[in-house]
Amino acid sequence: MKKVIKIFTALLIVTNAFATDRIVQENGAAGTYPTISAAITAAVDGDRIIVYPKIGDNPFIENITINKSLEFATAEDGVRYKIQGNISLEASNNRVITIIGAHLVSGNIQGLTSGWRTNVNIMGCLLEGGNINFSNQYYVNVVSNILSNGNINISHGKVIGNEISNQINQIAIQNSTSISNDTVDIIANKTPRIMCSGNVFLNIQNNFIKALNPDSSNAFFSIYYFYSTTTNMMNIINNTIIVPYGTSSFSSERPKYFNLNAPARIKNNIIQVSSTTTSYNPNVFITAGSSSSYNFIINTVGQYNSLSSTDTIVASPMVDQTTGQLVQSSPAKNGADPSFEFYDLDLTRGDAGCYGGSYSLENYFPITGSSRIYNIDMPFGISTSGGPLNIKADGFDR
């Protein structure tokens, strides 16, 4: 059966000996449930809801409300179960809800009520037209999902290995009244942009941030941190960022790679314009107090106000516009910070951009397969001088 897993140097499957599997199957045998809502009504905290896809690949047409600690997973390996309607979660302190392998042909996955801290895991899902939307009362792990036409909106948690397809959508970290100075990991996603309006620290690493067209205001941003502070609030490391040329000659109205109201550590990034138009150059605005090093910037950038001696201006495109992979002659190859902690997976000096370093995008894409390790907590710069090595890995079985 499907189960969220945690790994402590070896694979350890966490189980609940008293959990019951509630089987949802259209026209199923006695003891199964005809709808997902019926299974939720019968379930108690800790149960698993195992869903068989409907006959003919049809969706379950129902709005689903989850008000218990439950796990949802598909009964068929690699096949998502379809739902037409919203999945709404009611908050409650220490409630844990996990949704694996849902395919929403319409509707959102969303939080309904207040109740810190509700723990939510959304993994391996496909949303054709809806959002993943949770307020500050929820701690949400959003992992390996595809959003065809929607946003990811959370305040606390992790956003890892997701793909947002539509050019007007984004990953948004919203303001929270539950806890300030929290840390949110945004790692290895494909998204047009990342925005934060809350007082949180962001680890923005190995994302392929690409937009082909500026938004209607001609003020498109790739990474926008609204909250104003003099405290360093971001690691922006090993990202590949591609934006279009603007349509206005005014620098304040051109597309922006960074628009940051707090200092950041900006390292090993590739910053490139798209080659679809030839109008006004994008800009980079970096708050005073930021550090910039080992970034590669194409020379058509209109303004970059914080270059260091290790940043490199180049004359031609460095990555493939579609995949984000380095072109053969890219100077960003082996161009990252030479420190061991930024090495590539083959233990050579790291590449700049989203395919470099330990969190290479190739670890997370394509979003296929029967299981996924999505996060590893381990020290950088591992020493061979002896002593225990503590590694914790999080993953899930589809």
**pLDDT bracket for residue 289 (50, 70, 90):** confident
Task: Please write the tens of the pLDDT for every residue from 241-255.
Answer: 988 767 666 666 667
Its domain, for residue 54, covers 1-179+371-398
**pLDDT bracket for residue 302 (50, 70, 90):** low
189 part of a folded domain: no
**pLDDT bracket for residue 312 (50, 70, 90):** confident
Are 243 and 305 part of one and the same domain? yes
Are 337 and 394 part of one and the same domain? no
Are 132 and 220 part of one and the same domain? no
Domains of the chain: total: 2
Tokens of 241: 């960022």
pLDDT at 6 > cutoff 90: no
Q: Which comes out higher in pLDDT, residue 5 or 321?
A: 321
pLDDT at 46 > cutoff 90: yes
Burial class, 17, CB count within 10 angstroms (exposed 0-12 / middle 13-18 / buried 19+): exposed
Residue 300: per-residue pLDDT: 60
140 part of a folded domain: yes
Are 48 and 89 part of one and the same domain? yes
Average pLDDT over residues 324-329: 89
Average pLDDT over residues 248-263: 75
List the end-to-end C-alpha distance of the chain, in Å, as a whole number. 9
146 part of a folded domain: yes
pTM summary value = 0.89
Query: Is the peptide bond between 331 and the residue preceding it cis, with omega within 30 degrees of 0?
Result: no
Task: Please write the tens of the pLDDT for every residue from 167-205.
Answer: 889 999 998 877 777 899 999 999 999 999 988 999 999
Task: Please write the tens of the pLDDT for every residue from 341-365.
Answer: 999 989 999 999 999 999 999 999 9
Query: For residue 263, which phi and psi values (nearest 5 degrees)?
Result: -65, 155
Residue 181: per-residue pLDDT: 76
Distance (Å, whole) CA 134 – CA 61: 23
pLDDT at 260 > cutoff 90: no
What is the percentage of the chain residues whose pLDDT exceeds 90?
A: 52
Are 268 and 230 part of one and the same domain? yes
**Which helix (H) or strand (E) covers residue 35, if one does?**
none
What percentage of the chain's residues is helix, strand, coil (to nearest 5)? Answer: 5, 40, 55
Output the average pLDDT for the chain: 85
Residue 121: per-residue pLDDT: 97
Q: Hey, what amino acid is at 324?
A: G
